[in-house]
Amino acid sequence: MNKVSVGLLQLSASESPEENFEKTLSSIKEAAENGAQIICTQELFKTKYFCQVENWDYFRFAEPVNENSQTIKELSKIAKDKRVVIIASLFEKRAEGIYHNTVAVVDADGKYLGKYRKMHIPDDPQFYEKFYFTPGDLGYKVFETRYAKIGTLICWDQWFPEAARLTAMKGAEIIFYPTAIGWLPEEKETEGETQYSAWETVQRGHAVANGCYIASVNRVGFEKSPDGETGIQFWGQSFICDPMGRIIKKASSNREEILIDEIDLSAIDKTRTVWPFFRDRRIETYSELTKRWLED
């Protein structure tokens, strides 16, 4: 099949993981009833973005991520009932003292296909993820679902062209980016538009460079920092862009939305034929990319 309908769940979060989970399950059902076939959550959808501070108490939010875990069982039931693929961003407890920022993928028959662990972990003001997450060790992943071959990267991964390239090289037709990104109040007036533009532009560039679809889903709303000092204004604006980098649908900046759009996978072959970037790669010249920096 060439055409597939993608659904992105752009939601806000409350203090209750249970409430957030139920809202997301309801939104998955609503998206499915409105025609979505592949549905993706925002990053860490079960909780507020707790990484604004370093607090050992928040490790309690982590859970196992496997076919026997309760969350996966509930997602699998809905996926099977509604015949949809679900991409869910979760806080994974792998073992005592080892935690990951993880995406789980469930196919349209309810089968758990596996997971991807976030590779690039930020450590910036209000984004203290290195305190919580061990860098991923599963490599870049592509999952062959009923409707499409999908790649799953997560938030900070979206700034790295190498991650998108390797995911596309493994066959991804659509790369999904569950995301939690926004403005710090003190930066919004002077840097806000520039920051947002950079975020959107780099992802559209990944679509162009790799001739594939990009689907980026962000959370929305203001979340006060747990320490009461400041907070993050998540900018929403989840979007889908085509292999030419054109945005074909985008959500608002200030409200919850279920963004749904149909895409034509045959556009990938057409685009890559006209712009044969993979054909013209000079792979024998790229060995230095494995180095941290090149000295004079």
Q: Please report the DSSP string for 9-25 in residue order.
A: EE----S-HHHHHHHHH
The active-site residue out of 118, 129, 241, 257 is: 118
Instruction: Centre a 10 Å sphere on the Cβ of residue 250 and count the other Cβ atoms it contains.
Output: 18
Query: What pTM does this model have?
Result: 0.97
pLDDT for the residue numbered 220: 97
In this structure, whether the domain defined by 3-290 belongs to CATH 3.60.110.10 is answered with yes
pLDDT for the residue numbered 181: 97
Hey, where are the domains in the chain? 3-290
Return the amino acid letter for 257.
E
Distance CA 145, CA 176 (A): 13
Distance CA 286, CA 193 (A): 34
Provide the token pair at 157: 């991964």
**74 has catalytic annotation:** no
The alpha carbon of 55 is separated from its chain's Cα centroid by a whole number of angstroms, namely 24
Return the amino acid letter for 23.
K
pLDDT for the residue numbered 74: 98
- What number of CA atoms fall less than 13 Å from residue 29's CA on the CB side? 10
**155 has catalytic annotation:** yes
Distance CA 141, CA 118 (A): 11
Distance CA 202, CA 191 (A): 17
pLDDT for the residue numbered 265: 98
Q: Which residues pair with 251 in a beta bridge?
A: none
pLDDT for the residue numbered 1: 67
The active-site residue out of 40, 155, 212, 241 is: 155
pLDDT for the residue numbered 70: 97
Provide the token pair at 93: 């407890």
Which residue numbers in the chain have pLDDT < 70?
1, 296
Distance CA 219, CA 224 (A): 14
**212 has catalytic annotation:** no
pLDDT for the residue numbered 192: 85
Distance CA 92, CA 101 (A): 6
φ/ψ of 231, rounded to 5, equals: 170, -175
pLDDT for the residue numbered 215: 98
φ/ψ of 47, rounded to 5, equals: -135, 170
Residue-wise pLDDT tens digits, 194-233: 999 999 999 999 999 999 999 999 999 999 999 888 999 9
In the sheet with 231-235, reading across from the earlier edge strand, the strands are 182-183, 231-235, 220-224
Provide the token pair at 113: 């296909």
The active-site residue out of 43, 92, 129, 257 is: 43
